[in-house]
Structure 1
């Protein structure tokens, strides 16, 4: 049982017109909340629903509190407050310790007594699984891989050899960490020669890695994901990349080899980053942008063109093909002008 006072404490919010002993059973959107549920207002688009909400209380900003017809939990940052409050209602999966009969654990592996190794899992030679780790079904933990305390591998996660996973890391289904980087050298006979990938992957504490995301091992040094990084689904991080602490990367981001992403950066969905580039701290790159050169200053960056009606886009495309011709004509006219001919 969770009371409104406990929700307010977790959200670091101020109660307004509330009975702190009111029992809260869950969270719901403004237009669907019922008695016993809390709701939230984090975007102006949803203000019209506030006047008619049936929620037991609403998490919102001081500016919106005056218009709230029901009790409120007032917070400077309602989005963060909501995230902390909602965490109280997430079903928790805690390790109960033990190894499922269908799992295979190499005798040289070290598995803490409080860790759980689920059905059909494999833990290879020299691996270390820390206290309170939960390894879901069909996961593979490779040779000499370390999994830090309280980490959870949800299901079908593959950690290849010599991977280091920090504490309290959450890895969603299908993620592959430590597969070979795409290292190839073109020989004189036109055939590709594989460059051995001798490094590993180092993942810091409190990282979250989305479903089907892949992080390649380094060629010589480790690929590094620093503490607090949040990776969405289907992201590709190539060998020797370094992602700075507390950065967030949305779905389908692709980062080529040896790129460096700063701390507290945000990359929108589908962003591509070319290899061997450096992005400064606190950079935001909007969705579907291509980063083709290093970014030295913090701020927001974009590339590409937004969607347009097809007929208009065809005209724009035709004009884009003529840009080089137009540039040359303008340059020629400027040259004539400077010579005094016109």
Structure 2
């Protein structure tokens, strides 16, 4: 890949210092003064790069690897060529994520779009009743409504619209084109471009004349600390209760979360997931891409839901589910194996006939 001017290399971190910060063990103390400046995949890593190895499946990629250092478990260290220094750690994936934060801090949250890196742009509109703590940045064309409160160190990108009465905590990043209303947002929250928070939930009652009558949505959205919400994701406000996204949860792009949904702490929700209204999702739940969850159900703590699953009923804590309708993973895989076998048998029978 050609030089990336969007994310230039770090000035350099010594391997000895990096190992200490990551809690890793430097395999060769003679390499302590070597410097890494960037992260890279194994197959195209060059001098100055750091990469990581998770399994023996990556052995072939090491043939073209010229990295300065590689993070891996001690069981994989023998696979690494002699010219590459090994940083030993049983949690290489986590250590690589932490190293990325050290070497590419600017990539940890969306950057400023304009060159204005302080204060309120004269091309933004801030209602006179809004209260902004020191060191809040508001870029051009943003609109901040009446009685909004925004905490110190928060960045408001261009074209953002923040509705009346919204509260946003400290050190948040609200990216270009995001829309927020009827919401209370904690500290260190990241909203990526186009995220929409606090709009009407989908609620209608039958009309005696046919058609549907709108049910008012008068709840809020509460987003706790350290949540990250992807581009073009939508989170509806509650009907009368609140929609809640728990601390540390990470939500991908193009996710839809309905009214009154409660998502627990430290969940991972991948792109295209849809969660219907009044569903409760426990702590530490992982939901694969394009899965759909029915309304008014409960997903227990630590549940894992496979991509493209259709969840129609409660799932007990700690279970792994997949398929349509979603069922325990062992049952889903058995059903897939049986269907595959029947299909193959039909093909064989057809060939003979």
- The yes-or-no answer on 1:64 pairing with 2:76 is yes
CA RMSD in angstroms comes to 1.9
CA distance in 2: counterparts of 1:10 and 1:118, whole angstroms: 35
Closer/same/farther in 2, CA of residues 43 and 231 from structure 1, 3 Å limit: farther
Please say which structure displays the higher CA radius of gyration.
1
CA distance in 1: counterparts of 2:216 and 2:159, whole angstroms: 27
Q: CA deviation at 1:126?
A: 0.6
- State whether residues 243 and 261 of structure 1, in contact with CA within 8 Å, keep that contact through their aligned partners in structure 2: yes
| Offset from partner CA, 1:119-138 (integer Å, 9 cap, x none) | 10000001011000011111
The worse-fitting range, judged by mean Cα deviation, of 99-108 and 60-69 is 60-69
Instruction: Name the structure 1 match of 2:327.
Output: none
- The yes-or-no answer on 1:41 pairing with 2:26 is no
Instruction: Name the structure 1 match of 2:318.
Output: 298
Of 8, 11, 28, the match for 2:22: 11
Structure 1: gaps of 5 or more residues: 307-311, 320-342
Instruction: Name the structure 1 match of 2:198.
Output: 178
Q: Could you say what secondary structure the match of 2:43 adopts? A: coil
Which runs of 4 or more aligned residues in structure 1 lie more than 6 Å from their structure 2 counterparts after TM superposition? none
Q: CA deviation at 1:98?
A: 0.4
Q: CA deviation at 1:24?
A: 1.3
CA distance in 2: counterparts of 1:97 and 1:66, whole angstroms: 50
Closer/same/farther in 2, CA of residues 215 and 43 from structure 1, 3 Å limit: farther
Q: How does 1:229-244 map to 2 (within 5 A)?
A: 229-244=249-264
CA distance in 2: counterparts of 1:120 and 1:76, whole angstroms: 48
| Offset from partner CA, 1:51-110 (integer Å, 9 cap, x none) | 542100001111111322221111111110110001122252489430011100000001
Of 85, 89, 93, the match for 1:79: 93
Structure 2: gaps of 5 or more residues: 1-10, 325-331, 334-338, 347-353
Q: How does 1:1-342 map to 2 (within 5 A)?
A: 1=11, 2-18=13-29, 19-69=31-81, 70-92=84-106, 93=111, 96-160=117-181, 162-304=182-324
